[in-house]
């Protein structure tokens, strides 16, 4: 990820964190430092798994589909802009259904539930996922990239 993207994410995170502190929707029950240490630790693990598993799987699949033109995008004609918009919408829609599956199926929910364990949801829980869910997401992303052909 380019440095400017990382900077935008970090600044946004800090701004949201400060807004939540100054304008809370509800009273906090757990000490802030305890929650932050837990959530930042889980987030660091998730970022490491994402950098190695999810991104690698998607990039390998994307390279493979570039060399072997398969997927829906290769069947569509039109400008690159139109295809990009369609691909974006299909990626978003299919990932929405993946997210729904994570809530619906007990096996997947066991991993996805880590996102909701902290009852005091805030910006620090945004990236709180079970690392196992990230591996399953990597598999799903691989299928997604291949079938859509991005």
| Mean pLDDT to the nearest integer, 4-31 | 89
Rg (CA), the chain: 18
By C-alpha distance, which of 3, 39, 43 is closest to 20?
Answer: 39
pLDDT at 65: 80
Domain boundaries, the chain: 30-148
pLDDT at 117: 84
pLDDT at 128: 85
Question: In angstroms, rounded to a whole number, what is the distance separating the alpha carbons of residues 61 and 67?
Answer: 10
pLDDT at 109: 96
pLDDT at 73: 85
Q: 71 or 101, which is more confident?
A: 101
**Which tokens belong to 116?**
């909701």
pLDDT in tens, 74-105: 888 778 898 999 999 999 999 999 999 999 99
Give, in degrees to the nearest 5, the angle at Cα 24 between 19 and 30. 110
Question: In angstroms, rounded to a whole number, what is the distance separating the alpha carbons of residues 48 and 105?
Answer: 26
| Mean pLDDT to the nearest integer, 60-75 | 83
pLDDT at 110: 95
pLDDT in tens, 110-138: 999 988 888 888 888 888 888 888 889 88
């Amino acid at each position: 990820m380019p440095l400017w993207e990382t900077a935008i994410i970090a600044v946004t995170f800090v701004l949201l964190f400060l807004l939540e502190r100054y304008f809370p929707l509800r009273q906090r029950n757990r000490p802030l430092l305890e929650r932050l240490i837990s959530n930042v630790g889980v987030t660091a693990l998730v970022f490491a798994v994402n950098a190695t598993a999810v991104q690698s799987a998607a990039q390998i699949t994307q390279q493979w589909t570039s060399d072997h033109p398969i997927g829906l995008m290769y069947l569509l004609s039109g400008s690159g802009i139109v295809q990009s918009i369609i691909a974006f919408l299909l990626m978003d829609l299919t990932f929405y259904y993946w997210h729904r599956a994570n809530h619906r199926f007990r096996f997947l929910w066991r991993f996805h539930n880590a996102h909701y364990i902290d009852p005091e949801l805030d910006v620090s829980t945004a990236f709180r996922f079970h690392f196992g869910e990230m591996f399953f997401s990597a598999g799903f992303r691989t299928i997604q990239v291949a079938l859509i052909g991005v």
